[in-house]
Structure 1
Amino acid sequence: MSITRVLSAALLAVGLAAGPAVADDASPSPSASEDGGAPTQAGTSFRTATELDQGQQATASGSTGDYLYWSFPADSGQRPDVKATVKLPDSHGTQTWQLDVYDGLRRRQACQYGAATRTAPQGAATVQLACVMRTVRAWSEPWANDPLPGTYYVRLTVVDLGNADLGQPVSTEVRVDSKDIGGAAAVDGSLAKPLVPGIAVSADKSDDGKSAVLSSFGSDDGWSSGWWTDRWVWTGIGGVLAALAGIGGYALTRGTGRPRQVPPGV
């Protein structure tokens, strides 16, 4: 087999290995709803958090002192980026606003970077907050506080203001995007189920007799990312390169002529 044929076969193998990765990355994260309707209100607790798809920009009106809640889904390999803008009243004193992100177990998640707490000086028109989370992992130790696949909650509130400013109207904008980190964040393991709150609470009934749904994100199976990551592509490429190196070394050292005949008796 010539070196040209070997290289052609190797390139074909790499292309076949990379194909599933491209197909898998085509829709790695939830997107905005097809109807294009972004939420225009916020919940007042974890239980009533307004569901928000990644890529949507939610708006809500409230008052200083209110707790505003949204929820969004995040899958393994994603690094969510949560941004919030608060439009303040024309006349106000110094205010400090804070953006918090919690996972499906209501554990507060640390921000990798971004200003999650900011103070707006007197007379400022807006205050902008941001929280770039750590990459969501497919699996973690039970005692760890790593972000895991499932529902995440955004809480926006003012944490410091003067008494005269309490109850003044404000308007807010919240947007969640994410970056797909890919195989660099892959781990050996996965959750049996994503951290999505219980499907329904039978004890609480609405006027029409239906159970109160805590979250509609996720499904019983197939929601969280599977075993495939682009790390398998690089593993395959490494194996092909190692095989090429072995074949090339053999071709260079085996020689091209027939062994020289040694006359008898010499």
Structure 2
Amino acid sequence: MRTTRVWGALGAALLTLGLAAGPAAADASPSPSASGGSDGSAPTQAGTSFRTATELQQGQRATASGSTGDYLYWSFPADTGQRPTVRASVKLPRTHGSETWQLDVYDGLRRHQSCQYGASSRTAGQSAESVELACVMRTVRGWAEPWANDPLPGTYYVRLTVVDLGAADLGQPVGAEVQVDSKDIGGASAVDGSLGKPLVPGIAVKSEARGDDSKAAVLSSFGSRDGWSSGWWSDRWVWTAIGAVLAALAGIGGYALTRGHGRPPTV
């Protein structure tokens, strides 16, 4: 009877922990607002420099027309716990020689970010109609050492350009498509620390009108409705607490099973 009561208490505790972990896991998932723009329209042009980069929200598919030899720039926001994946497709002209296209990603401080995997540079042969590029970035961290080149929350820039082609192909029209998606890694990559402010451009080319009809430079308009999520909290604290409670319950259950079934008989 005593063992039955112990196992009943263990089952009730596990059920309670499961119900508590459900909302925590839901809160750790990315919000739907991070995958679309304010007006829901995808950009149809690209910038030509960091300062004129076209803003692109995650989940949007941007298109642009250009010429071989141009530098095409987009920018997108990435927050703590996200692992962005940048994909680009270039539609080549009907007749062209062999040319190599490259996709580069930079953070808010314009530091080049390496790719975990993906073909960020690819050569298209003379018969190729298009070229596909991809870059899976490292997980965005909430904090890093000043000397480190770790990805931090803020604005990221995408640069698409051709790096090797014949002189006869320079200036030919091309079409480009770029899309950024993220996978929420969550507490698996969380660190103990927080970033004071996200890495956004110091001054953007956009301006906002004041009440006196004057204009002032503003920061990048990127950011979630609830603000940037850099901080000490992550879902790993929930699972750490669950692990501690399970360990305590396992100890209680083991003690109940090994302590015996009552006092020994007396003579």
TM-score by length of 1: 0.88
Task: Give the alignment of 1:195-210 within 5 angstroms.
Answer: 195-198=199-202, 209-210=214-215
User: Is contact 2:92-2:128 (8 Å) kept?
Assistant: yes
Aligned partner letter, 1:228: W
Aligned partner letter, 1:227: W
Deviation at 1:260, TM superposition (A): 4.5
Deviations 1:187-244 (A, max 9, x none): 11110111111255799x9xx8523445211379831344332312321221122111
Residue 50 (structure 1) aligns with: 54
Residue 241 (structure 1) aligns with: 246
Select 2:255's aligned residue among 230, 246, 250. 250
Deviation at 1:6, TM superposition (A): 3.4
Deviation at 1:74, TM superposition (A): 0.6
What CA RMSD, in Å, does the superposition of the two structures yield over aligned residues? 2.5
TM-score by length of 2: 0.88
Question: What is the alpha-carbon distance in structure 2 between the residues aligned to residue 212 and residue 44 of structure 1?
Answer: 20
Residue 224 (structure 1) aligns with: 229
Whether 1:62 aligns to 2:84 is: no
Deviations 1:70-100 (A, max 9, x none): 0000111111110111111111111111100
Question: What is the alpha-carbon distance in structure 1 between the residues aligned to residue 163 and residue 241 of structure 2?
Answer: 52
Whether 1:122 aligns to 2:151 is: no
Identity %: 75
Task: Give the alignment of 1:12-31 within 5 angstroms.
Answer: 12-25=16-29, 27=31, 30-31=34-35
Q: How many residues are aligned here?
A: 259
Whether 1:88 aligns to 2:92 is: yes
Unaligned runs of at least 5 residues, structure 1: none
Deviation at 1:139, TM superposition (A): 0.9
Question: What is the alpha-carbon distance in structure 1 between the residues aligned to residue 258 and residue 64 of structure 2?
Answer: 73
- Which of the two has higher C-alpha Rg? 1
Whether 1:132 aligns to 2:146 is: no
Q: 1:28 to 1:241 in 2, by over 3 A?
A: farther
Question: What is the alpha-carbon distance in structure 1 between the residues aligned to residue 68 and residue 30 of structure 2?
Answer: 41
Unaligned runs of at least 5 residues, structure 2: none
Residue 193 (structure 1) aligns with: 197
